[in-house]
Amino acid sequence: MTVSLDSPVATARRERSQRLKRSAGRAAAFVGKMARNPLTAIGGSIILLLLIVAIFAPLIAPYNPLVQDLDSALSAPNAAHWFGTDEFGRDIFSRLVYGSRITLYIVLLVSVTVGPLGLLLGVSAGYFGGKVDMVLMRVTDIFISFPSLVLALAFVAALGPGLEHVVIAITLTAWPPIARLARAETLSLRQADFISAVRLQGASSARVLWRHIVPLCLPSVIIRITMNMAGIILTAAGLGFLGLGAQPPEPEWGAMISSGRTYMMECWWVVTIPGLAILINSLAFNFLGDGLRDILDPRSE
């Protein structure tokens, strides 16, 4: 049976095809804008490389990151071990490769947790105002008044060492800036004419928040989360350095620096290479956040 060009099925297919083309065009334009900024392109490329390394770690790493070879302990970088070995003879390159999985696990899990939490609290405080705003913002001020690393240390000390506890601790310290940003955006939108028109049409508060205010706050929140990822990496590395993050023998970058600091004067590669990995990836997320701000925030143009 042939379908007429004017039939509902054909019309739906054409509309779906047009939507896909428009989405592809917007995605291509977005990537093109990012590529025109050199620092953003560099940051995005590094993060893409990090993702590839984490996904294909078993294929990239030449050695098992947990297997010890005491005969090769503290070997300098050479053809067999590109980045040298640590005090237990474990290949540092392989440990860096597998450590990228831990770093991305922490960054992604904290980001997908802290974004909705901060956005929900911020838009609620800004939209409802009054006592709701006062209570939520006073709680936010209490969290912001402490340095994030100190507060994370306190939470991990209470919860105990472990990767999951690190994620919880960093989440509890990273949401206040996002909540304040979302509140400020909501305050500027709450009295807008289109919001008043939607209210006059009988829309509920939940519908106004979900359909109109939250989408307008999302770009700023996404930018802030992206730029916070560098801080998440540094906080996770700091907790790992103190022995409160991933526990040995897991190849977490901060823990690698901590275990190698005893030998860093004679064997520089043990701490320098994990430190460079932390530095480079932190800079990459900062570069990407700057680029997203230029693209998504019209006020920056």
- Whether the Cβ atoms of residue 282 and residue 233 lie closer than 8 Å to each other: yes
Structure tokens at 11: 């019309």
Q: How many residues does the chain have?
A: 301
Block residue for tokens 């930018």: 223
The pLDDT mean for the chain works out to 85
CATH of domain 10-300: 1.10.3720.10
Domains of the chain, by residue range, sit at: 10-300
Per-residue pLDDT of the chain (301 residues; tens, 9 = 90+): 444 445 666 666 777 777 766 666 666 666 676 667 788 888 889 999 999 999 999 999 999 999 998 888 899 999 989 999 999 999 999 999 999 999 999 999 998 899 899 999 999 998 888 888 899 999 998 888 888 888 888 888 888 888 889 999 999 888 999 999 999 889 888 878 788 787 778 777 788 888 888 888 888 888 888 888 888 999 999 998 988 888 888 899 999 999 888 888 888 999 999 999 999 999 999 888 887 777 766 554 4
Q: Angle 245-251-256 (CA atoms, 0-180°, nearest 5)?
A: 75
pTM: 0.83
Residue 11, H or E segment: helix 8-36
pLDDT digits 0-9 by tens, 224-241:
888 888 889 999 999 989
